[in-house]
Amino acid sequence: MNALSPSPTKEKAGSAAPAPPLALLAELTHRCPLQCPYCSNPVELERSGAELDTATWKRVLEEAVGLGVLQVHFSGGEPTVRKDLVDLVRHAASLGCYTNLITSGVLLDGARLQDLYDAGLDHVQLSFQDTDIESAERIGNFKGAQARKLDLARQVRELGLPLTVNAVVNRHNLGRLEEMIELALKLGAERLEVAHVQYYGWALKNRASLLPTREQLDNATAIVTEARERLKGRLMIDYVIPDYYAKRPKSCMGGWGRQFLNISPAGKVLPCHAAESITGLEFDRVQDRSLADIWRNSPAFQAYRGTDWMPETCRTCDRREIDWGGCRCQAFALTGSADAVDPACGLSPHHAEIFELAEREAGAPPPPFVYRRIGGG
Q: pLDDT at position 262, please?
A: 97
The residue type of 168 is V
Strand-pair category, 191-196 with 98-103: unpaired
Tell me, yes or no, whether 9 lies in a domain: no
Cβ pair 147, 155 in contact under 8 A: no
Calculate mean pLDDT across residues 357-367.
95
Give the domain range for residue 88: 23-252
Q: Quick one: 316 exposed, middle or buried, by C-beta within 10 A (0-12, 13-18, 19+)?
A: exposed
136 within a domain of the structure (yes/no): yes
Tell me the per-residue pLDDT of 46-88, one tens digit each, with 9 for 90 and over: 999 999 999 999 999 999 999 999 999 999 999 999 999 999 9
CATH of the domain at 144: 3.20.20.70
Do the bridges between strand 236-240 and strand 191-196 make them parallel or antiparallel, or are there none, so unpaired? parallel
278 found inside a domain: no
Please check whether residue 357 lies inside any domain of the structure: no
Average pLDDT for residues 158-175, to the nearest whole number? 97
Q: If you average pLDDT over residues 114-124, what whole number do you get? A: 98
Q: Which residues, 6 or more positions from 270, have their beta carbon under 8 angstroms from its beta carbon? A: 261, 262, 263, 264, 276, 283, 300
Decide if 80 is inside a domain.
yes
Q: Is 45 helix (H, G, I), strand (E, B) or coil?
A: coil
Which stretches of 132-187 are DSSP H helices?
Answer: 133-140, 145-158, 177-186
Cross-strand partners of 262: 25, 270
Kindly state whether residue 307 falls inside one of the protein's structural domains. Answer: no
Which tens digits make up the pLDDT trace of 234-287? Answer: 999 999 888 888 889 988 889 999 999 999 999 999 999 999 999 989 999 999
Question: What's the confidence (pLDDT) of residue 13?
Answer: 41
- Strand ranges (DSSP E) for the chain? 23-27, 71-75, 98-103, 123-128, 163-169, 191-196, 236-240, 260-263, 269-270
pLDDT at 324: 96
CA–CA gap between residue 113 and residue 268 (Å, rounded): 29
CA atoms within 13 Å, Cβ hemisphere of 28: 27
pLDDT score at 250: 87
Instruction: Give the predicted TM-score (pTM) of the model.
Output: 0.92
DSSP state of 346: T
Percent of the chain exceeding pLDDT 90 equals 88
* 3 state DSSP class of 105: coil
Mean pLDDT across 35-44: 93
pLDDT at 4 over 80: no
Judge whether 92 lies within some domain: yes
Count of domains in the chain? 1
Is 39 marked as a binding-site residue?
Answer: yes
Using omega within 30 degrees of 0 as the cis cutoff, is the peptide bond preceding 105 cis?
A: no
User: Mean of the pLDDT values across residues 210-229?
Assistant: 96
pLDDT score for 374: 82
In this prediction, residue 376 carries a pLDDT of 62
C-alpha Rg value of the chain to the nearest Å: 20
Residue 173 lies inside a defined structural domain of this protein: yes
Question: 345: annotated binding-site residue?
Answer: no
Residue 16 pLDDT: 57
| pLDDT 10s digits, 302-346 | 999 999 999 999 999 999 999 999 999 999 999 999 999 999 999
